[in-house]
């Protein structure tokens, strides 16, 4: 942090404020404490019958690799609304939102991923400015070597296991990379 967003001062230091237990950026001029908290990423695992919808990333990071539609939650959005918006932005698909299906804590990059089950309302989907391609994949067609992020393969595996058993349940786990 180079400047205080409250007063514009460049006199910012990293210290533990009185009564706190973590280092924070603090403005020496006005005393504002600048908290830095994790980002929430929301998305869906859109499905139709026994297939899931993946999008090929048209943006960095991981340009050209396949992923579930997901992105950062915006201020003023619920988890559900953000996930539905991201799905529409990346795949043009209309979905019927289901339960929160997986939550991944990724502390080393300060992110939390919340993925919902989402049933495709119809087969109207396609690429957007954020995706090069959008396709439905059955279990044996998943391009595992071309998946963009660890949460994607984990969520896909959970989905197909649960689809076979017809028992969908919430999964919560940490993804730790050193």
Strand partners for 111: 39, 106
Report residue 178's pLDDT band, with 50, 70 and 90 as the boundaries: confident
- Written out in words, the top-level CATH class of the domain with range 39-174 is alpha beta
Q: Is 59 helix (H, G, I), strand (E, B) or coil?
A: coil
Q: List the domain boundaries for the chain.
A: 1-36, 39-174
- Considering the entire predicted model, what is its pTM? 0.91
- Domains 1-36 and 39-174 are alike in CATH topology: no
Q: Tell me phi and psi for residue 66, to 5 degrees.
A: -90, 145
Tens-place pLDDT, residues 60-109: 999 999 999 999 999 999 999 999 999 999 999 999 999 999 999 999 99
- Written out in words, the top-level CATH class of the domain with range 1-36 is mainly beta
């Amino acid at each position: 942090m180079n400047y205080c967003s409250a007063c514009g001062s460049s006199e910012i230091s990293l210290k533990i404020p009185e009564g706190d237990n973590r280092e924070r950026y603090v403005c020496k001029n006005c005393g504002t404490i600048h908290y830095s908290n994790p980002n929430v990423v929301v998305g869906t695992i859109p499905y139709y019958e026994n297939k899931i919808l993946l999008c090929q990333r048209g943006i960095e990071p991981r340009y050209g690799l396949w992923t579930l539609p997901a992105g950062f939650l915006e201020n003023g959005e619920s988890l559900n609304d953000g996930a539905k918006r991201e799905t529409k932005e990346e795949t043009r698909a209309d979905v019927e939102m289901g339960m929160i299906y997986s939550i991944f804590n990724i502390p080393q990059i300060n992110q939390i991923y919340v993925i919902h089950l989402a049933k495709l309302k119809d087969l109207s989907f396609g690429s957007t400015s954020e995706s090069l391609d959008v396709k439905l994949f059955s279990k044996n067609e998943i391009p595992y070597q071309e998946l963009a992020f660890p949460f994607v393969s984990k969520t896909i595996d959970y989905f197909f296991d649960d689809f076979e058993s017809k028992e969908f349940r919430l999964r919560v786990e940490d993804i730790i990379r050193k």
